[in-house]
Structure 1
Amino acid sequence: MDPILHFFMNHFWWIVPLVLIVSVAIKDIFFNRAHTIKHNFPVVGHLRYLLEKIGPEMRQYIVANNREELPFNRSQRSWIYASSKRENNYQGFGTDQDQNAAGHIFINPAMFPFNLKAGHPNIEDPAFVPCAKVIGLANKRKKPFRPYSIVNISAMSYGSLSSKAVESMNKGALKAGCYHNTGEGGLAPYHSFGADVVFQVGTGYFGVRDELGNFSMEKMEALVKKNPFVKAIEFKLSQGAKPGKGGVLPAAKITPEVAEIRQVAMGKDVISPACHSAFSNVPEMMDFIEMVADRTGLPVGIKSAVGKLEMWEELADLMAERGTGPDFITIDGGEGGTGAAPPAFADHVSLPFSYAFSKIYKVFAERGLSDRIVFIASGKLGFPAKALTAFAMGADIINVAREAMMSIGCIQAQVCHTNRCPAGVATQNKWLAAGVDVTLKSERCYNYIKTLRKELLEITHACGYEHPCQMTMRDVDLSMGDNNMTIKLRDSYKYDKVKVNFNGMQEIKDCPYLGGPARKQEKQELAEVK
């Protein structure tokens, strides 16, 4: 055998790595002009970029403590994961929260909790808690709707999320009895497993658009008629993560199916306009809402982030004058966001939920309109204390988005915009999405929503109430920080919540407009069709 070949074969284990290292070094020194670190420190400079890439994951699991991480800290994520898996979600040895930190929430319990007597609906189902209001009843819509659950799945589009993620959420929502908001990406087959659906329409009018990209009333009517599980329509004016910018779906996430559902072309980013073309001011929007509600028979609402109040005041004044208007208003806090957004928008544009909601609620309450509107709250509210604070401020329903994503496996990798979601939730990569077991994940989504509702009720009962809608601005205190004092929500936000007309959980259970599991006949017909 040739001596050189013999030497190479005997020392293969170190020669090949050496050749690779030398090749990388030569490339870095002589050909790399884009990265100074790699040029000046060949080979080892690559470690810097590797550490930068995996830095968030390293900090998430090793460096950060239980309470300091954003957008969701480890304690919050752990509670969601444990709840979704029906594991022990308790904590031992007291709280690790700094209860003197500014903004810490204190819920005030009653001396005597609410007493569940024999025959009460919550004896049979400790997580039974529908909305206290009926959507569309005040405006006399043809098909009013009372959501079966006060906790529902917020707007997340198929395309942004994988088909298996959407299917898991829809099947989990069906079991939990909550509604599932489609997001602005249109109604997909994966929204169609029987759960109540709120069909969201954004500025791109996906699924209900004509050849020019404008809103098509004919397609809207056809969609509603074909899909009786669609219970309400929501027009998105803006969203918390990027108000003033339309949604963006990168070309890498557009599959032939996504393109067909959205009625868009393959191979290029889909960017929704910043503004609606169907209306351009408040009076036109009100006329448009009435037209859609009349033609479809469904309740119609709007979703928006909050900044300037002038147009909100105009809307409230016109509603008081005309006796018409949106059936529900979804307030999206600036801390929200499930997809991609420019950092400047995500960080600085629009108010966080607590400031946004309090300002808008006051506008409508001052004009005597709070009983005509179902207020839906969104923005990191998928935890018992935060959700009850929202109810105390006047919310009737909360929507959860990222919390629902975590219940089906999201690990907060924060790469939703890259199509490389490692959990298979926010990606169209078939290999990654294949890791989502729909049977398992839908059960976990159901467990999370049920657990959240159950704990919401338990704290509500501890406060002496039967339903979260009875919580008031005087039932929650906020810590003021260094002075070790607290202040009631009423004194912080300068208003009192208007009392909701609530006559007991049994009356709600018997309501003819109740959605969710109450729709037995409709669900049976849907199953027969499938």
Structure 2
Amino acid sequence: MSEEQLFATLRIIDNHPWLFWFGVSAIFLISVFIHDLLQRKHTIKHNFPIVGHIRYLFEMIGPELRQYWVANDKEEMPFNRAERSWVYATSKKQNNNFGFGTTELLYDAGYPIIKHSAFPFPEGQAKFLNGDPSMIPSLKVMGESHGRKKPYRPSSIINISAMSYGSLGERAVSALNRGAKLARCYQNTGEGGLSPYHAFGADVVWQLGTGYFGARDEKGKFSMDKFLERLSENPYVRAIEIKLSQGAKPGKGGILPGAKVTAEIAKIRGIRVGQDCISPNAHSEFTDVKGLVDFIERIAAETGLPVGIKSAVGESKFWEELAERMKSGGKGPDFITIDGGEGGTGAAPLTFTDHVSLPFKVGFARVYRIFQNAGIADGIVWIGSGKLGFPDRAIVAFAMGCDLINVARESMMSIGCIQAQKCHTGHCPAGVATQSKWLQAGLDVNLKAERAASYIKGFRKELLAVAHACGYEHPLQFTGTDIEIGAGLNRFRTLSEVLEYEREPVRFTTMMDYTSFIPEKSSA
């Protein structure tokens, strides 16, 4: 091409710039076409060059398309749009009421009905602890029955469940901790261990998983010296929880993809940067019930703190043996967290997620009944976990025997989670379950802390409202006879009849008897 022809071509492009972009686009599409024909990894792309990419695009954004355009308000899983809307509205202090009546199928088998009282508890007589109309203190003290040196009465019966720093980013963990401080509830660290983002003033329960992160030696074994050293640096730790298993992947260790293992996380956990962090599926400190109890007592003796266990429920033999040993020896966990198979915030193989461990109501009832029959249920603080972050489900759990509720995914939604279901990829679009600095940049810690606190407080206020409607001052006064469960064919049975037991009666006088256990409100 001569110089004169070149200038003529440039003048044409200058007068018609679309020709340039048309040429660039054509070259790009031809390159993609050739690449698709030559590659052999994806049959669809080979057989349908260029067009085949649309299929993978739709597959990638499928959850979002279904969430916002296809599914109805009661259809999505694990949380439908109506449930998410309630959490979002509550966290933002917006109107969380719904109009035009229920859309639920009230006659379906398994549907719970909470029976109101003809003579409600007068809301004008309700006492507010420290001026907060949402405060509901625990009626039990962790460690009291075993005489621990540092017993702990949780200020709130609703708390933030185990979610590790690593699975969640530092901004999300920080927001939840600050929110927990504002709401005066505790935050469970998850098995990732203590991080700087758990130290903004909220009460903390340190969870020890099979990896003993933050309390392990160079070989990955539990180190009491390192454990005590970390505890001495973290005055907010009020209890220790030994995780035997969790609802998302019971019998399998935690999974943190290498893409999420930053230098800071590697330092906190004592692992290598960029490598998949897969915890062992079993503890190295004990292999049987006796060993578990000995480990619990050793930690309690060294720290003075209450020590409990968390587990999903499978076979019953373990629980029967634990109950028998606790009854005969007077030693064992101060609290027991039962996680349902419907729970799960992180990465897990599909079979474990869908088919391993019993759902909460079945699993909890089996375990609670074992300890009740042994006559020791009342000496344990019972914690329920697994999709219980709504007032109706919490009330059923309380009537079954729970003393506290731990909430995970609903807490994530309160700080912005949109249920994109990309937690395991590191590409959470809401900046919650990711280590990407770019994606986290949109998560304002102070704003989200306020929303996390508003969700917890709004949750508790609605719990109190329902309790008052049923004639009670405290939600733990609910019993199985206060709830009826649909049995199909227009028949209902009380929860007590379904469970074949009644929870141990609570010892409650008035809210004002618990004021000394509730810390004064402080800012984040």
Aligned to 1:436: 443
Deviation at 1:6?
A: 5.2
Distance 2:209 2:22 in 1: 59
Distance 1:46 1:224 in 2: 52
Moved more, 387-396 or 8-17: 8-17
Deviation at 1:177?
A: 0.3
- Alpha-carbon contact 2:334-2:380 (below 8 Å) kept: yes
Aligned to 1:413: 420
- Alpha-carbon contact 1:8-1:15 (below 8 Å) kept: no
Distance 1:66 1:167 in 2: 31
Distance 2:74 2:129 in 1: 33
Deviation at 1:378?
A: 0.2
Aligned to 1:255: 262
* Contiguous gaps of at least 5 residues in structure 1: none
Aligned to 2:30: 22
Distance 1:496 1:260 in 2: 48
Distance 1:486 1:112 in 2: 23
Counterparts of 1:51-450 in structure 2, within 5 Å, are 51-116=58-123, 118=125, 120-121=127-128, 124-450=131-457
Deviation at 1:118?
A: 5.0
Distance 2:181 2:237 in 1: 13
Distance 1:491 1:118 in 2: 33
- Alpha-carbon contact 1:245-1:274 (below 8 Å) kept: yes
- State the Cα deviation string for residues 231-263 of structure 1 (Å, max 9, x = none): 000000000000111001111111111111111
1:517 aligns with 2:519: yes
C-alpha RMSD of matched pairs (Å): 1.7
Change over 3 Å in CA distance of 1:216–1:21 after alignment to 2: same
TM-score (norm 2): 0.96
Distance 2:137 2:453 in 1: 15
Deviation at 1:409?
A: 0.4
Aligned to 1:43: 50
SS of residue paired to 1:243? coil
- Alpha-carbon contact 2:129-2:515 (below 8 Å) kept: no
- Alpha-carbon contact 1:183-1:199 (below 8 Å) kept: yes
- Alpha-carbon contact 2:309-2:335 (below 8 Å) kept: yes
Distance 2:147 2:316 in 1: 28
- The aligned amino acid for 1:225 is S
Change over 3 Å in CA distance of 1:123–1:437 after alignment to 2: closer
Distance 2:84 2:482 in 1: 26
- The aligned amino acid for 1:64 is A
- Alpha-carbon contact 1:116-1:123 (below 8 Å) kept: no
Distance 1:139 1:207 in 2: 26
- Alpha-carbon contact 1:161-1:427 (below 8 Å) kept: yes
Distance 2:372 2:232 in 1: 35
Distance 2:322 2:150 in 1: 24
- Alpha-carbon contact 1:302-1:328 (below 8 Å) kept: yes
Counterparts of 1:469-488 in structure 2, within 5 Å, are 469-481=476-488, 483-488=489-494
Deviation at 1:119?
A: 7.5
Deviation at 1:403?
A: 0.5
Deviation at 1:122?
A: 6.0
Deviation at 1:279?
A: 0.9
Distance 1:139 1:25 in 2: 71
Deviation at 1:123?
A: 9.8
Moved more, 144-153 or 485-494: 485-494
1:467 aligns with 2:474: yes
Aligned to 1:492: 498
SS of residue paired to 1:406? helix
Distance 2:45 2:11 in 1: 35
- The aligned amino acid for 2:354 is D
- Alpha-carbon contact 2:130-2:515 (below 8 Å) kept: no
Distance 1:259 1:7 in 2: 58
- State the Cα deviation string for residues 350-381 of structure 1 (Å, max 9, x = none): 01111111111101111111111000000000
SS of residue paired to 2:191? coil
- The aligned amino acid for 2:27 is V
- Alpha-carbon contact 1:157-1:182 (below 8 Å) kept: yes
- Alpha-carbon contact 1:166-1:191 (below 8 Å) kept: yes
- The aligned amino acid for 1:399 is N
Deviation at 1:42?
A: 1.6
Distance 2:369 2:155 in 1: 26
Change over 3 Å in CA distance of 1:356–1:118 after alignment to 2: closer
Deviation at 1:497?
A: 1.1
- State the Cα deviation string for residues 291-324 of structure 1 (Å, max 9, x = none): 1101100000000000100010000001000111
Distance 1:47 1:224 in 2: 52
- The aligned amino acid for 2:501 is Y
Deviation at 1:517?
A: 2.2
Identity of aligned residues (%): 58
- State the Cα deviation string for residues 122-150 of structure 1 (Å, max 9, x = none): 69432110111111101110011100000
Moved more, 99-108 or 298-307: 99-108
Deviation at 1:22?
A: 2.3
- The aligned amino acid for 1:472 is T
- State the Cα deviation string for residues 414-439 of structure 1 (Å, max 9, x = none): 01111111111011111111111011
Deviation at 1:117?
A: 5.3
Distance 1:123 1:444 in 2: 21
Count of aligned residue pairs for this structure pair: 516
